[in-house]
Amino acid sequence: MWTSYLILIGIISGFIGLYMLTMHLNKKIAVPESCKAAYLEAQSCESCASRGGGCGFNDAIEFMKEVKPE
């Protein structure tokens, strides 16, 4: 019985460790120049899809589609 708890704790710890590693590595990657405008727009939007006002999630997606190089 204790073995199954240890396995469960190991699996959960592994997922948490993987998440933390991913977040750490993600912070080291710079935002590509082609996405910088969309990134800055998304960072300044405080009410997207939360109160029904502001820039809205769909508007942000459309903006990113326009910025994307073809």
| Per-residue pLDDT, 11 | 97
Higher pLDDT among residues 20 and 57, named by residue:
20
- Predicted TM-score of the model (pTM): 0.47
Q: Is the dihedral of CA 55, 45, 15, 4 positive or negative?
A: negative
| Per-residue pLDDT, 2 | 82
Question: How many angstroms separate the CA atoms of 59 and 38, rounded?
Answer: 11
pLDDT in tens, 2-48: 899 999 999 999 999 999 999 999 888 887 788 787 777 777 655 55
Question: How many angstroms separate the CA atoms of 43 and 41, rounded?
Answer: 5
| Per-residue pLDDT, 3 | 92
| Per-residue pLDDT, 9 | 96
